[in-house]
Structure 1
Amino acid sequence: MPELSASMEAEFVKTGESTRLSRKFHSYPLKIAKPFSLAHGQLGVYVMDASPGMMAGDRYKFKWELGEGAHVYATNQSMTKVHPSRKYAGGPLVPSVQQTTVLLRADSLFEYIPEPVMLYKDAALVSHTEIRMEAGSALIVSEILCPGRMSRGELFQFDSYKSKLSVFYNGETVYSGRQNIQPASTSFNAKGGWNGFTHLGSLCVFREGICSKHVDTVRDTVRSYLESDPAYRFSAGVSLTYKHGLVLNVLGTGAEPIQRLLRSVWGALRLLLFGLPPLEIGK
């Protein structure tokens, strides 16, 4: 199957009290579905992928730009599925690549909550995300990583997952996070490792003024979630970034419970930071 090089670009502006999509571009198999209005002038957007998933050598490029005061919620229609990254048995590794660029103008808010990433057996994914924020802008972004189709016995049989997230606020680097997961050279049950957990989730929040009280809110929400569902086992940690942000990381044994936990934290921070109720979007 030939390699795909697909792009998607979207620009948003605030008009009156509402946000609208002012420009869009997408190439197969990516597509922006028709935007939909949400409460408080927010606009919702779905990204669609008409392919069965990312194949060996596929390159996806995403660019999001929010004008001053724009407020956007974005997600995708389903999981990002990453297929084996060798085109034939014994062939060279040809990783799939996903590049995302986000530009947030003053006083804009971007909530990017995609579905989990599923790494099939022998899959290799390289993901680079760069976010540039102007004064007064805010960002909430999540990610969940699944270690294979567990029903098929693919647990940690992917080749590699390499990611980099860079966040700049007024031109200054306020966060830089990297991951390099290579199951073949990793002991997931070793002390200091994954300790028997299989799924990884994260929620990153950036806004000027984030401080220890917001970290306390995250911890209280995590404790409440654990008390409400004591049968579910996970490990979580939250910390402030260098400036203007916090990051919550969660290890668990399934994507759906981590999604519920991240949504609980997202809802609590949405109320505390912006005075907005939790956002419930059906799919």
Structure 2
Amino acid sequence: MMLPMDDAQTKTVAWSDKRWQAMLALDFAARSGRTTLVGKRHQGPLVVQKMFYPEGDDVCHGIIIHPPGGVAGGDHLQLHATLASASSALLTTPGAGKWYKANQLHASQEIRFQLAANSCLEWLPQENILFDGSAVHFSNEIDLAETAVFCGWDIVCFGRQARGEQWQQGELRQSMQVRREGRLIWNERLFAQPDSVVMRSGVGLKGMPVNGSLVVAAGVVPTEVLEACREIKAKGDAYYGVSALPEIFSARYIGRSSEAAREYFEGLWQVLRPWYAARPAVRPRIWNT
């Protein structure tokens, strides 16, 4: 989530003491049937590419880029997006987020999305990789109008699996809150360290290095949609499943592969999107590169 910066922060949001303090704020609105980026403000190394329309004017696709390529201890990223009535946007990232060794300093990513009536926002980033020794705080705050729709996922990989690295030192704090008309409808928190019980418990992460969550806030899930989601299988050695609350659809992945987690969530997205957005799923072009 992104919280408003105070005056002191806004004066020091660039390169300072070798720590990146970056903020990107985006405003979307529907103009003559086309969702358009009508406002953009950024400070520090967090930017968005030009908007893309691979599925026509209805949905605006944006790619959020952090040019340094990795986040070090002490770095702080903020992403804020507002959607006006009847607008639709899909935001993603060009590659995995890399979170480096903390060097006794925490790094953080704060996301805040505000959606007006009949708007729809999809936040579908690629995975975050926590290097051994990283200390990271991810927080997400979603504020929805009564008829707004949100779909988002996050995937966290503990250690660089391609190098056989294990996450042996560090800390992860995660939080996600979804509110509709100010009323809290989803509240999720995780605090983990390499030696935490939650990392190895059968009711936690089961000793697996990859953890993923998908959330859709769009009202009651039709029975046929929920059943179709339950038929989707994740590849490899993994634990996964879906559940539906009165106002939230939730899916989980716990396994050994961030790629398998993405494929599983994308399979669910293919089923879910015709329900919550009344349109088929169209993959962002950046996912093909």
State the TM-score, normalized to the length of structure 2. Answer: 0.87
Q: Tell me which of 56, 74, 78 is aligned to 2:73.
A: 56
What is residue 155 of structure 1 aligned with on the other side?
166
Q: Tell me which of 174, 184, 209 is aligned to 2:185.
A: 174
Q: Which amino acid is 2:137 matched to?
A: V
**1:109 corresponds to 2:120:** yes
CA distance in 2, matches of 1:44, 1:207: 20
> SS of the counterpart of 2:285?
coil
What is residue 238 of structure 2 aligned with on the other side?
234
What is residue 9 of structure 1 aligned with on the other side?
25
Displacement after TM superposition at 1:179 (Å): 0.9
For structure 1, the 5+ residue unaligned runs are: 87-92
What is residue 269 of structure 2 aligned with on the other side?
266
**1:32 corresponds to 2:54:** no
Contact 1:147 1:158 in 2 (8 A): no
Q: Which amino acid is 2:54 matched to?
A: L
> SS of the counterpart of 1:278?
coil
> SS of the counterpart of 1:183?
coil
Residue 203 and residue 27 in structure 1: after superposition, are their counterparts in 2 closer, same or farther (change >3 A)? same
Contact 1:13 1:69 in 2 (8 A): yes
Q: Tell me which of 119, 128, 139 is aligned to 1:128.
A: 139
> SS of the counterpart of 1:261?
helix
Residue 34 and residue 159 in structure 1: after superposition, are their counterparts in 2 closer, same or farther (change >3 A)? same
Q: Which amino acid is 2:25 matched to?
A: E
Residue 39 and residue 100 in structure 1: after superposition, are their counterparts in 2 closer, same or farther (change >3 A)? same
CA distance in 2, matches of 1:266, 1:64: 21
CA distance in 1, matches of 2:138, 2:198: 23
What is residue 7 of structure 2 aligned with on the other side?
none
Contact 2:61 2:284 in 1 (8 A): no
> SS of the counterpart of 2:85?
coil
1:147-175 CA distance string (max 9 Å, x none): 11123332222411101101000111000
> SS of the counterpart of 1:37?
coil
What is residue 89 of structure 1 aligned with on the other side?
none
Q: Tell me which of 182, 191, 196 is aligned to 1:185.
A: 196
Aligned length in residues: 269
CA distance in 2, matches of 1:121, 1:197: 15
Q: Tell me which of 217, 224, 230 is aligned to 1:219.
A: 230
Q: Which amino acid is 1:203 matched to?
A: L
Cα RMSD after superposing both structures: 1.8
Displacement after TM superposition at 1:183 (Å): 0.8
Displacement after TM superposition at 1:247 (Å): 1.0
State the TM-score, normalized to the length of structure 1. Answer: 0.89
Q: Which amino acid is 1:250 matched to?
A: Y
CA distance in 1, matches of 2:189, 2:224: 26
> SS of the counterpart of 1:271?
helix
> SS of the counterpart of 1:262?
helix
